[in-house]
Amino acid sequence: MALGAVLLLAFTAGQAFGKEETFGYSMGGIDHLADNLSVTDFWVNGAAGQQAGNGNAGVPAPPLPAKWRPGLTVHVVWDVRDWQHDKGSTHQADVSVDPYSEDGGNLWVHFLANGTVRVVVSELGPRAAGYPGPHDPIPSKEPWNMYPSRIAYSDVGEQLLDTQLIHQHCDATSNPVSCVKQAHERLLDEERVDARRYLPQCASITNGSSYDECMRRAYQSMRAARLARRCHVAPGLPDCKSSTNAKDPQRAAGALVQ
C-alpha cells in the first residue's frame, strides 16, 4: 500500500509538470519574524507546511522538477499571527525557487523579517555552514507566552464563577446585556495584564524542569490576582475569607465589575 501511494504521488507529479521527471522530499518553514509574530501555518502549491519554526523539515514537500529552470516559482500562502495585538493576517505570493542541483534536497521556506519569502532546495539544513540559502537570524521564541491572548482557554471553572458574579451584578442594572459585555471585556483585559506580567519571565528559560516550575508559579500568581479582584466584588465568598492573597489591596484595585 505504501509503495502504491508513492507511485501514485510520482505519477501525479509527472502529470503536473508535463510528465517531466520530478522529486519531492520533505519541507520545513523557517520563521525569521519579530518576537511578537509567528507563521502559524503555510502552504506551498497547496501542500501544507504547518507552523514555521526553526528549520525542521517534517512534512511532505510538493513535487518540483528534477532539473531547475529559470523562472521556476511556487505559490506560497501563509498565516501570520501578531500575538502582541491579538490579530492575524493571511498573505500569498508567487515565489522564485533558488537554483538547485539535480541532487535535489529538502524544500526550505524562509519567512524573512522584512515580510518577503525565499524558497531554497538543499540537502543541508538552514543552520549548516554550507547552506545555500539565507543565514538571517532564526529567533528562538514563544510569542504565545510573551504576548498571551485576551481569550482565556484555561481555568474554565474560574471563568464560570466570574461569569456568575458578573450576571449577579448586571441583572440589577438598567441595561444588563451591555453591562455583561463590558464586564467581560474588563475581565479579559485584566487577565491579559496578569499574563503579560508573569509569563514572559519564563519564556527565556531553556531548562525543561525550570521552565515548568516557572510556569507553575506564574499561573499560581495569575490565579491569586484573579481571586483578589473577585473578592473585591464578593468578599463573602469562602475562598475570600480563607485566602491572604485575596486581601492584597494592590491587586484588588482592578475590580471585576465597577
Q: Is residue 136 part of a domain?
A: yes
Q: Is residue 172 part of a domain?
A: yes
The residue among 141, 163, 190 that closes a domain is: 141
**Can you tell me the distance from the alpha carbon of 249 to that of 184, in angstroms, rounded to the nearest whole number?**
22
The residue among 79, 110, 141 that closes a domain is: 141
Q: What is the pLDDT of residue 198?
A: 85
Q: What is the pLDDT of residue 208?
A: 82
The CB-side HSE value for 21 (13 A sphere, CA atoms) comes to 6
User: Mean pLDDT across the chain, nearest whole number?
Assistant: 82
Q: What is the pLDDT of residue 67?
A: 92
Position 8 pLDDT exceeds 80? no
Query: What number is the average pLDDT over the span 236-257?
Result: 55
Q: What tens digit of pLDDT does each residue of 155-213 get? A: 677 778 888 888 888 998 999 999 998 988 888 888 888 888 888 788 778 788 898 89
Query: What number is the average pLDDT over the span 113-139?
Result: 94
The total number of structural domains that make up the chain: 2
Q: Do 29 and 52 fall into the same domain?
A: yes
Q: Do 8 and 117 fall into the same domain?
A: yes
Residue 23 sits at φ, ψ, to 5 deg, of: -140, 160
Q: Do 117 and 177 fall into the same domain?
A: no
Q: Is residue 236 part of a domain?
A: yes
The confidence band for 243, taking pLDDT boundaries of 50, 70 and 90, is low
Position 11 pLDDT exceeds 70? no
Q: Do 130 and 233 fall into the same domain?
A: no
Position 72 pLDDT exceeds 90? yes
Position 107 pLDDT exceeds 80? yes
Position 73 pLDDT exceeds 90? yes
Q: Do 241 and 113 fall into the same domain?
A: no
How far CA 4 is from CA of 8, 23, 64, 85, 89, in Å, comes to 6, 16, 20, 47, 38
Q: Is residue 212 part of a domain?
A: yes
More confident residue, 197 or 256: 197
Q: Do 9 and 136 fall into the same domain?
A: yes
Look at the pTM and tell me if it is higher than 0.85. no
Q: Do 97 and 186 fall into the same domain?
A: no
The angle formed by the CA atoms of residues 172, 174 and 175, to the nearest 5 degrees, is: 105
Q: What tens digit of pLDDT does each residue of 48-58 get? A: 999 998 877 78
Q: Do 101 and 9 fall into the same domain?
A: yes
Q: What percent of the chain has pLDDT above 90?
A: 40
The residue among 141, 174, 193 that closes a domain is: 141
Q: Do 11 and 77 fall into the same domain?
A: yes
Range of the domain at 241: 148-252
Q: Do 94 and 33 fall into the same domain?
A: yes
Q: Is residue 61 part of a domain?
A: yes
Residues 6+ apart with CB under 8 A from 141: 35, 38, 203
Q: Is residue 258 part of a domain?
A: no
**Can you tell me the distance from the alpha carbon of 64 to that of 59, in angstroms, rounded to the nearest whole number?**
15
Position 110 pLDDT exceeds 80? yes
Q: Do 24 and 101 fall into the same domain?
A: yes
Q: Do 130 and 161 fall into the same domain?
A: no
The confidence band for 219, taking pLDDT boundaries of 50, 70 and 90, is confident
Q: What is the pLDDT of residue 19?
A: 55
The CB-side HSE value for 99 (13 A sphere, CA atoms) comes to 2
Q: What is the pLDDT of residue 1?
A: 40
More confident residue, 256 or 217: 217
Q: Is residue 222 part of a domain?
A: yes
Residues 6+ apart with CB under 8 A from 73: 94, 95, 96, 97
**Can you tell me the distance from the alpha carbon of 145 to that of 12, in angstroms, rounded to the nearest whole number?**
42
Give the three cell numbers for residue 156: 474554565
Q: Is residue 257 part of a domain?
A: no
